[in-house]
Amino acid sequence: MSNFFKDLKVIELAGVLAGPGVGLFFAELGARVLKVENKNVGGDATRTWRLKGETENGPSAYFSAVNYKKEYLFLDLTDARERHDLLQEIADADMVISNYSSRVAEKLGMDYPTLSKINKKLIYLQLDGFANSARPAYDVVLQAETGWISMTGHSENPSKLPVALIDVLAGHQLKEGALLAIIHRMKTGEGSLVECNLEQASLAALANQATNYLMNNAVAEPIGTLHPNIAPYGDWFATADGKRIVLAVGSDKQFENLNMVLGLHLHIDEKFKTNPDRLRYRFDLRAALVPAIAKFNLADLSQKLDGAGVPFGEIKKLDAVLESPAAQEMVRTEMQGGRETKRLTGNAFKAGFL
């Protein structure tokens, strides 16, 4: 673990995933992160979000995903003495991370206007649910209301993403704001308020699906793994040994090379010569590729596709993914509450100065 932020003190008033993920970022880089939890309700709600059959000993796996290398303070902030103790910690802190509603923050005296009076250099990170509403906001609510569920799975069976991706995206946005605030303080000596909400973090991540609508008035439909602009891209196929792959053919040259590997000549067929052609006749294209790919075992096909520079991926289950060398390199362990907790590091980047 790097000590890049070893002189940074962070107070985490946030629960669940997005805010604690920001705290994890700084903790993994050496900051002192004090996570404040409501002792009247047993702490962060995710401490008890256990899988069926998961041990009751120690924190849940869910909680452990974004809580690592932190100090834990179980407080009742309605108690004047305990609130005073926390304010003493905040007085010399560099940063506060909060997902308290404005009503709760003001009632407890943990809002930015109040805290900035006792610490003028404080960077206050505020995470909200919606841009213009105080409604409760959980990840699946935002996946529904910002279009993700409408685009995922198939029309007869709407699906959500199996990770709380909106929380993760919002956490990344808030981290970026935090880093800008640190630079701003280095330049001016001033603290600042940085605000982010799940709704707009989710909207910002719609990327090409948003521009497909904004520029072409095209509303994305649920098409499983398929790509709306490219083919064969996201199309999946079974191999002779029962494995499954997805293709990610993004150019005419890659499509020609795919044909070379498979012993086909679809690239000279008028129906499939260009990407717009392949999109138009996508299902005919799939019908031609299915039997050709089914002749190969995965190992042999992988070698040939790699050799020809054709992008593809094996559809792997999570156990195989997490046993890979890349994943194993990212595993971090820590004893918490008598249980060995494990998670993947939240920081996938490397830098020579770390």
- Which residues are marked as active site? 167
| Cα–chain center distance at 298 | 30
Q: Which residues pair with 37 in a beta bridge?
A: 74
DSSP state of 152: S
Burial of 302 (0-12, 13-18, 19+ CB in 10 A): middle
State the DSSP code for 160.
Answer: -
Phi, psi angle pair for 207, to nearest 5°? 45, -120
Tell me the angle at which helices 165-188 and 18-28 cross, rounded to the nearest 10 degrees.
50
How far CA 184 is from CA of 82, 194, 236, in Å, comes to: 32, 12, 47
Cβ within 8 Å of residue 308, ≥6 positions away? 257, 258, 260, 261
Locus of tokens 């796996």: 61
DSSP assignments along 223-242, one per residue: BTT--SS-TTEEEEEE-TTS
